[in-house]
Amino acid sequence: MGQSITVTVNGEKKTAEVEPRLLLVHFLREKLRLTGTHIGCDTTHCGACTVLVDGTPVKSCTMLAVQADGQQVTTVEALAASGTLHPIQAAFKQEHGLQCGFCTPGMMLTSVALLQEKPDPTDDEIRWALSGNICRCTGYMNIVKAVKSAAAQMKASAAVPEAATASARS
Amino acid sequence: MLPAPFEYHAPHTTEETLELLDQLGDEGKVLAGGQSLIPLLKLRFASPAHLVDINKITDLDFLEERDGTLRIGPLFRHKSAERSSLLASRYHVMADAAPQIADPIIRNRGTIAGSVVHADPSGDWGTVLLALDADLVLRSKSGSRTVKARDFFSGPFSTTIEPTEILSEIRIPAAKPQSGGAYLKLERKVGDFATVAVAVHLQMDDGKVRSAGIGLTAVGPQNLKAERAEAALKGARLDDATIKEAAALAAEAAEPKEDHRGSVEYKRNVVRVFTERGLKRAYERARGGG
């Protein structure tokens, strides 16, 4: 039996008729064809399917699509929506924060949420925040480096307007 | 993996929820954080005909101290416990446990009450509530009743809650001066269930133990309360001999099973060591330290 839901996915309102048992990850991948969200373990362990629901990282294999009704979902596809890489993507590329790339969308979304909350995280805070995302290639060193580098990058670009104002004043 | 088909309900009020549960009886199941229930549905260990999702009832997400009681609502999530300054300053055993639940992403959604009702013998919150001597308020359409945490668990994944009831509030006696607690958990990796964990709560009174609560995780068919160890501490000064005796009694209370996480002997020994360390840490905190 179908149920109508409206979910704002990457800024766009999507209305669909779904079975209540449909998981959010299947809604994203199969109904909306947003296949950037990966299914890893399918048992709430690995974090590959992590998306942001109202800004908070959630394992989309462990949430029903009907539960996302009326909420905002952000997937990896939103990160470079403007056509340029998001700083987290650029940093993962630059620092080689991925090997096979399967865990990367989840890693990046969890990192984006972390940097929203803590713009200047320590290595420990990064590892702690990412401890629900498993990299089967064990590429953690570079992932941590990438998140640090993205943090520095985002801080620098956020500081630009301030610096510009300061120099205009002087 | 897809769950078996079910009908989905998302009521906006508690009254509506209780009305629904009353109508559905055995066929209905409450969905809170879903971090245990949804995996169970996917593995088809559970296939209720109706799911009643309480996530839209936002006023169920609360933690407050009122009238000498700490009250926790059904939607209060692990991450909120992890970030609570109230818990960090005065409810040490809870503050210790919160960041050790599953992993950070699961903590964003999972709830304390959901975990307690799920009653996994390897779950952490039940043990914490046993140590704190919590009361559980179970509410149905026809009224509410209060059950002690120690009378709530009845076996693996089994409790005395009725299908028509929700755990509407967890009540913990408000922390008094000279109280301290600790939660020690051995896990193989982040997100794993405990190999063994021990919860300790102490209420001191001028150098003597007024009351002690000790809970044990993953070493029995349900979360256990080490009552003989608690009794041995009551009225005693916390010297090394007393701590050793209580730890030995807690180890005796454990009923571990051998599995891939360790042998019976090993787990029992971890209970002993963690009880010792937990008592020392709790005592330190009760005296205003660490």
- The helix/strand/coil state of A150 is helix
Contacts of residues B94-99 at CB distance under 8 Å and 24 or more positions apart, as own/partner, are: B94/B128, B94/B132, B94/B181, B94/B183, B96/B181, B96/B182, B96/B183, B96/B184, B97/B124, B97/B125, B97/B128, B97/B183, B97/B185, B97/B199
Domain B64-173 classification at class level: alpha beta
Q: In the predicted model, is pLDDT for residue A169 greater than 70?
A: no
> Cα–Cα distance between B140 and B19 in angstroms, integer?
8
Give the gyration radius of chain A's Cα atoms: 17
Mutation for testing the A interface, residue in B29, B30, B57, B105 having most A CBs under 10 Å: B105
Distance CA B201, CA B180 (A): 6
Q: How far is CA A47 from CA A51, A57, A87, B51, in A?
A: 9, 9, 21, 25
**Can you read off the two tokens belonging to residue A130?**
């990412």
DSSP secondary structure letters along B233-256: HTT-B--HHHHHHHHHHHHHH---
Find how far residue B178's CA is from the centre of its chain: 23
- CA dihedral defined by A82, A84, A88, A92, rounded to 10 degrees? 140
Tell whether the torsion through CA atoms of B102, B105, B107 and B111 is positive or negative.
negative
Whether B191 and chain A come into contact, CB under 8 Å, resolves to yes
Between B6, B109, B191, which is nearest A45 by CB?
B191
Residue ranges matching CATH 3.30.465.10 in chain B = 64-173
Q: Which residues of chain B have pLDDT under 70?
A: 290
Q: Look up the CATH number of domain B179-285.
A: 3.30.390.50
Mean per-residue pLDDT, A79-85: 93
Q: Does A135 touch chain B (CB under 8 A)?
A: no
Closest to A119 measured CA to CA, from A78, A71, A89, A156: A156
Ramachandran area for residue B207 (φ above 0: left; ψ -120 to 50: alpha; else beta):
left
Intervals of CATH 3.30.390.50 along chain B: 179-285
Domains observed in chain A: 3-78 (3.10.20.30), 87-160 (1.10.150.120)
Task: Number of A to B CB contacts under 8 A, please give it.
Answer: 80
Does the pLDDT of residue A165 top 90, yes or no? no
Q: Is A89 helix (H, G, I), strand (E, B) or coil?
A: helix
pLDDT digits (tens, 9 = 90+) for B176-216: 999 999 999 999 998 899 999 999 999 999 999 999 999 99
Q: The domain B7-53 is classified under which CATH number: 3.90.950.10, 3.30.43.10, 3.30.300.30, 3.40.50.10490?
A: 3.30.43.10
B11 interfacial to chain A (CB closer than 8 Å): no
Residue B191 Rama label (left phi>0; alpha psi -120 to 50; beta):
left
State the Cα–Cα distance between residues A37 and B35, nearest whole angstrom: 19
Q: Is the pLDDT of residue A166 over 50?
A: no
**DSSP character for B101?**
S
Q: Which residue of B has its CA nearest to A52?
A: B105
For residue A111, give the amino acid letter: S
Determine, for residues B105 and A64 on separate chains, whether the beta-carbon distance falls below 8 Å: no
Instruction: Answer whether B12 touches A (CB < 8 Å).
Output: no
Handedness of CA B86, B89, B94, B97 (dihedral sign): positive
At residue A112, the pLDDT reads 98
Q: Does the distance separating the beta carbons of B105 and A47 come in below 8 Å?
A: yes
Q: B8 and A128: CB-CB below 8 Å?
A: no
For residues B183 and B93, the answer to whether their CB atoms sit within 8 Å is yes
For residue range A22-47, what is the model confidence (pLDDT) as tens digits?
999 999 999 999 999 999 999 999 99
pLDDT in tens, A124-149: 999 999 999 999 999 999 999 999 99
The tokens describing A59, both together, are: 């394992």
Q: What ranges make up the beta strands (E) of chain A?
A: 3-9, 12-18, 50-53, 56-59, 72-74
A62 to chain B, any CB pair closer than 8 A? The answer is: yes
